[in-house]
Chain A
Amino acid sequence: MAAALEIHDLQKQFRSPDGRAAVIVDVPRFELAAGAQVAVRGTSGSGKTTFLNLIAGILTADAGRIDVNGLRVTGLGEADRDRLRATTIGYIFQTFNLLQGCTALENVELAMAFGRGVDRAFASRLLTKVGLDGHLHHLPRQLSVGQQQRVAVARALANHPSLVLADEPTGNLDERHAADALKTIRELCRENGAALLLVSHSPAVLEQFEQVVSFADINHAFGRREGAGA
């Protein structure tokens, strides 16, 4: 069985305002087994969002390769990367990124519409699973912050992804809601057989995971910047 995620010699650089090229991501090797749940410890500005965006195919790498579920993301054109995101990768954002004009159910169904097809029964089941059975037709502004995050979790699982990326998913939640949200994310990923790669700087989140790695250890570019800063 192919790993959920394999990365080799991944590099991404950006040009700073003064015109100098700065390497933001430099990951020689990283692997996530199918169905595994790994937390990555990273501070803000460490390039972890860029790292996740590279895996999701939102950004393209300058060098190296990324395989998701055995498929070489770095060799795909934009349309295929879109398809991969729609069918194989679920993404949970720190700011939830729900569509404000759509209800909870519609937010989940929209992800399905661009993915494997709308399955209202499954969408409702997912929302019920995250405790929103009475809020299917509520707009995001009618939901609490914690409830909005749960909609985002349900949406990430809508297309039966094999890999879920979570970028500071509890960053906007208080401690109690953060613990609940985290539990929900992990449970849903486990039930759906999806691997979970979660990045966070919160010790409360990280201590929930059996497998925690430091982003500075994965991303040598950040390690070098840290070292230079020290």
Chain B
Amino acid sequence: MSAMPAANGGAAGVHIPRTQSGMAGVAMLARRSLRQHSLSSAVTMLSIGLAAGLTMSVFSLRAQSRDAFLGGAGNFDAVLGAKGSRLQLVLNNVFHLESSPGNISWSVYETAKEHPGVAFAIPYAVGDNYMGARIVGTTTELFDAFQYRPGRRLAVQAGGRLFDMGLREAVVGAEAARRTGLAYGAIFQPTHGLEQNEAGHVHEEEYVVVGVLEPTGTPIDRVILIPLEGIMRMSGHILRTEDDDMYAAQAGEEIPDEVKQISAVMLGLRGPQAGLDLDEQFNKRDSKATLAFPIGAVMADLFDKLGWMVQVLGLVAILVVLVAGSAVLASIHNTINERRREFAILRALGARRSAVFSIILLESATIAAIGTVIGFAVYAAIMGTAAIIIRRQTGVVIDPWALNAALAWTPPGMIALGLIAGLIPAAKAYSTDVATHLAPQT
């Protein structure tokens, strides 16, 4: 033999020419394969999309609804109402949900109002509705003192005005106006009861709409505001004295304070100490009323109680993610056997095992990546629908496009899931025996 031994035993100075990484080939083959198995690829992408969309929605909805409900009370710090559940007080008077726990006497309102730590006290009286929109009797102080967001007060749309405390006039929330069709100048008759009821008694009093509120994105959008005494004077509403004697208000006659009854007092406090004082006064010493303070803590308590439900939803989302990951695995794994020959050919052409491995991983990552893009569409659909439902049911507005950490970690998470799901089929492709699979198939 004429050749001289070299480092590897061959001729001196002989080396293998450099090769390209093959990434162009890897990318082309991954793309071809996805196209060749377009149906299963599309179904798998869709399942990844559903999983990604559901995961992002669950985490985003949880965070946003918590923030929205905890901050839904504006600058109301506390609610004073009939003896009973604090949560019911908050739900009924802040979110205008649930039934009213009962009434309190006017003296309770005056006691609270006179407390030096109270910045404002606004009475609420409920009991009627119009086409399902709750009617809240209150004072015009609501428009001066209540800020639904810092610096933002209730405002009547152009052309309207606030109601006159001595007349049968109403100011309608934006959502209530949309739902009931009430507009400026409209006349309506309230129906007895907090919820819409076909058989409900229609009061004979007629109210005229003198204003429609600008949308606030808070539960107040869903109610109709009328003068406080309007509720007390409504036909069929019976007031009672402290001795439980019945009193029916007559037109033109002033209602004595002793028989006035309201549903709740919405309180703005000068500081937390005032809340603690009132808590001591009403919750621990006086058995006639209940103080829900602070409102955020009451709602937080509700969310904590509902925590298991959120956890179940999170678990469902994780299960869907796992199913989607399995779908990626199954979809690619099913193609591996039919593609063994293709891998053997590539290896015979000089492709390294790692290149074959990369083709499969690139396919699974691509499925996951495209699936995640679909996931954002699913997320938008879920959040858009949820925002509409939550707004209609509670008046609380959530922003479907608000940033949430889940939107940042879900895409890389889903791609990582795709890569993990691709590992088993990639390992199978990696181990393809070239000589065996190159042999002519019979």
Contact = CB atoms under 8 A, between A and B. Distances in A.
Interface of A: 2-3, 6, 8, 49-50, 53, 56, 58-59, 65, 67, 69-72, 74-76, 78-80, 82-88, 91, 93-95, 97-102, 106, 109-118, 155, 159
Given A85-B349, A95-B440, A97-B345, A67 B19 contact: no
Contact of B19 (A8, A50, A83): A83
Nearest to B355: A114
A70 B11 contact: yes
Contacts of B36: 101
Q: Which 5 A-B pairs have the closest CB atoms?
A: A86-B350, A70-B11, A113-B25, A72-B10, A72-B9
Interface residues of B, number: 43
A18 B406 CA distance: 59
Interface of B: 1-3, 6, 8-11, 14-20, 22, 24-25, 28-29, 32-33, 35-36, 341-342, 344-353, 355, 434-435, 438-441
Nearest to B353: A78
Nearest to A101: B32
Given A99-B342, A101-B33, A106 B350 contact: no
A226 to B, nearest CB: 22
A99 B343 CA distance: 10
A50 B15 CA distance: 25
Given A2-B14, A72-B8, A116-B17, A94 B353 contact: no
A56 to B, nearest CB: 7
Contact of B16 (A83, A98, A102, A112): A83
Contacts of A88: 16-17
Contacts of A74: 9
B33 to A, nearest CB: 7
B16 A71 contact: yes
B349 A87 contact: no
A97 B206 CA distance: 88
Contacts of B22: 113-114
B11 A67 contact: yes
Nearest to A59: B435
Given A91-B349, A114-B352, A155-B349, 14 more contacts: A2-B11, A8-B1, A58-B435, A75-B10, A76-B16, A85-B350, A86-B350, A97-B345, A101-B33, A110-B28, A110-B349, A114-B20, A115-B349, A116-B19
B6 A85 contact: no
B169 to A, nearest CB: 75
Nearest to A160: B17
A6 B440 CA distance: 28
A86 B19 contact: yes
A102 B438 CA distance: 18
A58 B10 contact: no
Contact of B349 (A49, A79, A86, A116): A86
18 contacts: A2-B2, A53-B438, A70-B10, A71-B11, A83-B17, A86-B19, A86-B351, A87-B350, A88-B17, A97-B341, A97-B438, A98-B345, A100-B342, A101-B35, A106-B28, A116-B18, A118-B20, A155-B349
Q: Most chain-A CB neighbours within 10 Å: which of B9, B16, B346?
A: B16
A209 B346 CA distance: 30
Contacts of A118: 20, 24
B348 A91 contact: yes
Contact of A67 (B3, B17, B345, B351): B3
A114 B1 contact: no
Contacts of B18: 87, 116
Contact of B10 (A71, A101, A155, A159): A71
A213 B364 CA distance: 49
Contacts of B8: 71-72, 75-76
A93 B441 CA distance: 13
Residue from A2, A8, A65, A94 having most chain B Cβ neighbours under 10 A: A2
A2 to B, nearest CB: 5
